[in-house]
Amino acid sequence: MTRRILLDVDGVLADFVTPAAKWARRNGHRNAYHDNCTKWDVLESWGLQAFQPQFDQFCSRKGFCKSLPVYPGAVEFVEQLRRLGEVIVVTSPLSCSPYWCHERTIWLAEHFGFRSKDVIFAKRKELVCGDVLIDDGPHNLETFANFRLLLDRPWNRESTPPRTLRRRNYQEILDFVPGV
């Protein structure tokens, strides 16, 4: 039986935080950086909650999702995961963007060779069937029934859900997945 590996995108494969930090710095908020984003809500991390409408407009622009940077090592990570089982992307759509889902599908095909049939958009990832879920969002892992792997990021260090294994990097995840 083939192992089904469910894989998140933002914070795991795609770097959403760096463009958000650049936007914040362009708008006069000098202390916004990837490494000091310590909360799930990037604007809350930098004390910028009042700028949510402007940030939503920035993220909703055509081309934004398609231009997100790929984390270093992510392409090789996905290649290695594919040797361990069937990899299905489970990603949450950005509700404020009419382009997000279309561009995300293109981005995943261009960078990782994912076919659209292997991409699931879901706000409730626990409803998707798989043997393991790899995510950077503790809230996405809390109610997932099978193995849960949390990729360590600055914004998730305050919370590790019960029965969830925190892994510091791609290699630590790859070392664990064969045991699932």
DSSP track, 136-168: S-HHHHTT-SSEEEEEP-GGGTT---TTEEEES
What pTM does this model have?
0.96
Asked if 4 and 88 count as a contact pair (C-beta separation under 8 A), the reply is yes
Are 103 and 157 in the same domain?
yes
- Predicted local confidence at residue 1, as pLDDT: 58
Maximum Cα interatomic distance, the chain, rounded to a whole number of Å: 53
CB atoms within 10 A of CB 124: 10
- Predicted local confidence at residue 42, as pLDDT: 95
Are 59 and 80 in the same domain?
no
Confidence band, pLDDT 50/70/90 cuts, at residue 177: confident
Are 171 and 110 in the same domain?
yes
Are 119 and 149 in the same domain?
yes
Mean confidence (pLDDT) of the chain: 95
Are 119 and 143 in the same domain?
yes
Are 44 and 85 in the same domain?
no
Structure tokens at 167: 């892994």
- Predicted local confidence at residue 106, as pLDDT: 98
CA distance 16 to 67: 10
Are 168 and 100 in the same domain?
yes
**Per-residue model confidence as pLDDT tens digits over 86-138:** 999 999 999 999 999 999 999 999 999 999 999 999 999 999 999 999 999 99
Count how many domains the chain has: 2
| Residue spans of alpha helices (H) in 27-86 | 42-45, 52-59, 74-84
CATH number, position 90: 3.40.50.1000
- Predicted local confidence at residue 14, as pLDDT: 98
Are 8 and 82 in the same domain?
yes
Are 113 and 140 in the same domain?
yes
Are 99 and 165 in the same domain?
yes
Asked if 43 and 52 count as a contact pair (C-beta separation under 8 A), the reply is yes
- Least Cα distance to 137 among 122, 153, 121, 126 occurs for 153
Write b or e for each residue in 145-162: b if 16 or more Cβ atoms lie within 10 A of its Cβ, otherwise e: eebbbbbebbbbeeeebe
Domain that holds residue 41: 17-66
* Strands 119-121 and 164-167, bridge-based pairing: unpaired
Are 56 and 78 in the same domain?
no
Are 58 and 79 in the same domain?
no
Q: What percent of the chain has pLDDT over 90?
A: 93
